[in-house]
Structure 1
């Protein structure tokens, strides 16, 4: 199923020259991974201290874009500059779910936004990433199938944040959060099915 993640190769191509300069300066993939996570934690802390503040919400799309760029850079540093490591693989997966929780869970404190649906959406996102990782344990590749992968969740919450800058939360935001939950559940099922299908084809 289509996902914003499919655009990643083109985004990486734009970042590759900058990535090369970072590698030349001695910057490591793990450092970039931790910086991306730290950025997410800092924004999450700002949101917790200023629940629903317009400036915090307006800043979220920029933070998400920077996080996406840093995630692309750490991957290229690992793969293309010989920096891949077991520690890096662990950090990459753990910091992704930590960053998601830090960036999105503070939405529960926004008046009018259904806190329960926010928690469900974030939880489903974590389970979706776990499903993608578990695929490796059964002999499939790491699954990134949509429709609500990491990049898609970032787009959704970034757009929601901008809408909340200009409009008060209400029925429309409840509908959007319910839709996000449905997409999250579909992503879990889709990744599990794709992994099982991949393994079954490999066995034939």
Structure 2
């Protein structure tokens, strides 16, 4: 099923220059991965802080408008760390662990604060984060059973970033959200269930195909 992830090859072409510059500066792929995760935790904490009512409306607007910019930057960093690892022989078990765990932690840090929005059913945000983590786990398990790392949509990591970036932009522009936020979260939960199904189904199909490698 179609996903923003399908655009990754073209996106990576645009990131060739910053990837080379970071390598020349002595930055490693793991450092890029950690930087993206730490920045996500910091921004998520800021969002939770302003939603808890500890800051004025001007700061609330600024933090919402910063969210889509950061989510785009995070997608770029996630692509760059993989490009650096493959291009400059930086691939490692630690890097794979940091990449997968960092994505799940970053998603939770950036999206859970939306549950604090006044007048919404925050439980749908919580279940979305849990289902997102499950979808990534199923994607990784695909590789474990011989079906390859699965990135199938319709609501993969990049799609979720686009969704919450758009919501953040609308909130930053002071668009009323009470009528549509919860229905959007319900729909996103449903799309994540489809995503989990697609990843599991495709992983099993590949693993069980005659051409699949024999598992140890």
TM-score band w.r.t. shorter chain: over 0.9
Q: State the alpha-carbon separation in 2 of the partners of residues 197 and 51 from structure 1.
A: 44
Q: State the alpha-carbon separation in 2 of the partners of residues 101 and 147 from structure 1.
A: 19
Match of 1:113 in 2: 120
SS in 2 for 1:193: helix
Segments of structure 1 that go 5 or more residues without pairing to the other structure are none
Match of 2:159 in 1: 152
Match of 2:184 in 1: 176
* Alpha-carbon contact 1:112-1:169 (below 8 Å) kept: no
Q: State the alpha-carbon separation in 1 of the partners of residues 33 and 133 from structure 2.
A: 18
SS in 2 for 1:201: coil
Structure 1 residue 133 corresponds to structure 2 residue 140: yes
* Alpha-carbon contact 1:57-1:162 (below 8 Å) kept: yes
Instruction: Map Cα deviations across residues 153-185 of structure 1 (whole Å, 9 max, x no partner).
Output: 000111111222322321211111111011111
Match of 1:40 in 2: 40
| TM-score, length basis structure 2 | 0.91
| TM-score, length basis structure 1 | 0.96
Within the candidate set 190, 195, 198, 2:203 is matched to 195
Match of 2:87 in 1: 80
Structure 1 residue 92 corresponds to structure 2 residue 108: no
Task: Please show how residues 49-60 of structure 1 align to structure 2 within 5 Å.
Answer: 49-51=49-51, 53-60=60-67
Q: 76-85 or 163-172, which moves further after superposition?
A: 163-172
Q: State the alpha-carbon separation in 2 of the partners of residues 3 and 131 from structure 1.
A: 17
Q: Tell me by how many angstroms 1:202 deviates.
A: 3.7
Number of residues of Structure 1 aligned to a counterpart in Structure 2: 204
Instruction: Map Cα deviations across residues 10-42 of structure 1 (whole Å, 9 max, x no partner).
Output: 110111122112112211000000000111011
Q: State the alpha-carbon separation in 1 of the partners of residues 65 and 151 from structure 2.
A: 28
Cα separation, partners in 2 of 1:193 and 1:44, compared to 1, 3 Å: same
Q: 163-172 or 121-130, which moves further after superposition?
A: 163-172
Within the candidate set 45, 49, 71, 2:78 is matched to 71
Q: State the alpha-carbon separation in 2 of the partners of residues 147 and 57 from structure 1.
A: 25
* Alpha-carbon contact 1:117-1:178 (below 8 Å) kept: yes
Q: State the alpha-carbon separation in 2 of the partners of residues 119 and 100 from structure 1.
A: 11
Within the candidate set 82, 93, 102, 2:109 is matched to 102
